């Protein structure tokens, strides 16, 4: 937001709470906060109308979809309501926002920039729901890019890898709570693997690229004469995105077992699982 405002854009920044809007006004007058909840259809319509009124008959040069939430837990025990919530935020809500703002984008022949993830290309253990949502959003972005091409509207997908932001504390910062929410047999089976996965993933994010790296790519996607369809950004993003294209699945699995600290031998925990059920 700040980078775009500094570059001369008039920026409308969505916020979920009025307190967040107050914080933006306190920080700068160059960014206009707009209350918007991507899971609330009425909120989306109201936000689009507010921006349209603020533009006084002009169109919108760019829309950046950056909503997201994190859910890391075993697929065996993930609550279906939590899966629906993940898709509501990461997929359905962002499509609804795009539909609501597309008339303004058409008017200015602007462009759409969607925030995806390298996780759409390389699924993580315990991140199946997050990666599935990002994959779905990436496929929808591809379709949108093809469909809007005849109308002169660019659609770009940005795929970050490890980015050092405070959000990691929300998604990976409380593994003990995740374990406590599992049923007893789930905790017995997965606690050790979850802790090791969480430790490695957290360290990777903490050592990731600064958020401004992503901001620079967003700016480039919004201003390049011929923007790319996809932009990779962040620590190890190119390496992680290349692995699935080069390695067969079995070998790729071995790499992931090692990366995320899972046992590498097939059936390694059968005896321990049997003992816990005895």
Domain assignment of residue 150, yes or no? yes
Structure letter (DSSP) for residue 124: P
pLDDT grade for 161, boundaries at 50, 70 and 90: confident
Domain assignment present for 11: no
Look at residue 254 and tell me whether its pLDDT is greater than 80.
yes
Whether residue 247 lies inside any domain: the answer is yes
Q: What is the mean pLDDT of residues 108-126?
A: 95
Question: Is the pTM for the entire model greater than 0.85?
Answer: yes
Kindly list the distances between the CA atom of residue 233 and the CA atoms of 139, 186, 201, 223, in Å, as whole numbers in the listed order.
19, 35, 17, 17
237 in a structural domain: yes
Tell me, what's the pLDDT at 17?
A: 76
Range of the domain at 242: 59-277
CATH number at residue 90: 3.40.50.720
Note the pLDDT of residue 116.
95
pLDDT band at 91 (very low <50, low <70, confident <90, very high): very high
Cα 157 from Cα 21, distance rounded (Å): 27
For residues 91-119, give the mean pLDDT: 96
Instruction: Give the span between the Cα atoms of 135 and 90, in whole angstroms.
Output: 10
Of 9-23, 217-231, 250-264, the poorest mean pLDDT is in 9-23
For the residues 185-211, what does the mean pLDDT come to?
89
On whether residue 51 sits in a domain, the answer given is no
In a domain, 52, yes or no: no
Give the model's confidence band at 211: pLDDT under 50 very low, under 70 low, under 90 confident, else very high: confident
Poorest-confidence range of 25-39, 48-62, 164-178, 216-230? 164-178
Whether residue 227 lies inside any domain: the answer is yes
Q: pLDDT-derived band of residue 42, with 50, 70 and 90 as boundaries?
A: very high
Q: Is residue 264 part of a domain?
A: yes
pLDDT: which is higher, 39 or 16? 39
Residue 92: CB partners within 8 Å, gap ≥ 6?
A: none
Number of domains in the chain: 1
């Amino acid at each position: 937001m700040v980078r775009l405002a500094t570059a001369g854009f008039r920026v409308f920044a969505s916020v979920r709470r009025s307190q967040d809007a107050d914080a933006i006004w306190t920080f700068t007058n160059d960014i206009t906060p707009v209350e918007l909840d991507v899971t609330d259809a009425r909120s989306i319509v109201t936000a689009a109308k507010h921006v349209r009124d603020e533009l006084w008959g002009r169109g919108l040069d760019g829309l950046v979809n950056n909503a997201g939430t994190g859910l890391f837990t075993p697929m065996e025990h993930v609550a279906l309501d939590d899966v629906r919530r993940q898709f509501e935020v990461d997929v359905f809500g962002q499509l609804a926002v795009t539909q609501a703002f597309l008339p303004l984008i058409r008017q200015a022949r602007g462009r759409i920039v969607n925030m995806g993830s390298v996780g759409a290309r390389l699924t993580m253990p315990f991140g199946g729901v997050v990666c599935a949502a990002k994959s779905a959003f990436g496929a929808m972005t591809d379709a949108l890019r093809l469909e809007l091409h005849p109308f002169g509207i660019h659609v770009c997908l940005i795929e970050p890898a490890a980015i050092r932001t405070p959000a990691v504390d929300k998604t990976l910062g409380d593994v003990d709570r995740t374990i406590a929410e599992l049923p007893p047999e789930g905790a017995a089976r997965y606690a050790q693997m979850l802790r090791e996965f969480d430790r490695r993933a957290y360290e990777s994010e903490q050592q990731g690229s600064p958020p401004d790296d992503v901001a620079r790519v967003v700016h480039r996607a919004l201003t390049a004469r011929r923007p790319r369809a996809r932009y990779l950004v962040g620590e190890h993003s190119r390496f992680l995105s290349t692995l699935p294209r080069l390695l067969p699945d079995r070998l790729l699995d071995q790499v992931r077992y090692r990366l995320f600290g899972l046992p590498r031998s097939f059936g390694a925990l059968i005896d321990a699982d049997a003992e816990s059920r005895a």
